[in-house]
Structure 1
């Protein structure tokens, strides 16, 4: 007798996106969009590693939107979504998690200093120090323009992180600020602190070259 063939029906996982993905503060509204590869009987939104879903949408074709209004500190966690497929029937795995980073303006901003000061020649090593003496979480260095921090570092025993920009070029010119991750289980960030401005002076053009 020939062995019986067993068909394994795989339900592909969804993907989850966050809108806006940056610059969320306590009190804001955030939308999480669960993108589906096929129609679903239901779609559920979960906090990461929590088996109890927090929101559900029924009879969804290709995307379910979940709105979180009036963001609070405890909303600053990771999220996942999952769906029940129609044809073929079956429950998907959870999506990859997304992180909801929330700025809480009740925390004091970090301080920042620049050495050497402001105008430097190309090729100079520049040091930016960010200090956060009361909350010892990771410190982030931001440059105006990029949406994400350009560097991060754990502070030393005095609550200071030292970032070095090696052999700077004019591309390093700009305004820099710091923030820090508040300790604890939630993904909370401090507000951005005061800024420092770095101006890198290009090397003079050799004679005879334009």
Structure 2
């Protein structure tokens, strides 16, 4: 069938609910024409990517849906209108373009420590980062302030466990979690504070050491 350019009016294009689409959400694109035109075909095209989208319409509009917005769907879209008249296909010029952009928002992760708060010097401590999200995968980052401590761990069943073996005084401080996926980051979690304490045995041993040291000094001075 012969295809010709024509004086068909340029269609309009609109997006619902918005052009900024959360990852995994549904979005609809509507192509429409003036009231006197019906019975043609709307074609939805995407720049920099393949989109096999056509919509035959007996009315003056056609709706296209993207059920789950993904990064491949990010880009510019435009409509074109075609109508067959006397075995000839006439095409309008493309509509203005609209840009669909993927947005990613993660919930704030939570953090917990075992044991809670004060940890005896030389014992082990564990910190758990968790997040309630339907997105699988991703990475947790554990940070400590003050200091440059940073550890990463892949997400497993919504959480990641970090171990701090043989806790020393350098491990004291505030810890917080970040969640990352696909280059997007969550806001930081609340912080938990790790404080070191000496056991009674350690205190007694250190005190005896000091006493012995003082006695030795006194003997040497005699």
Please say which structure displays the higher CA radius of gyration: 2
More helix by share: 2
Question: So what's the TM-score if we normalise by structure 2?
Answer: 0.44
Question: So what's the TM-score if we normalise by structure 1?
Answer: 0.47
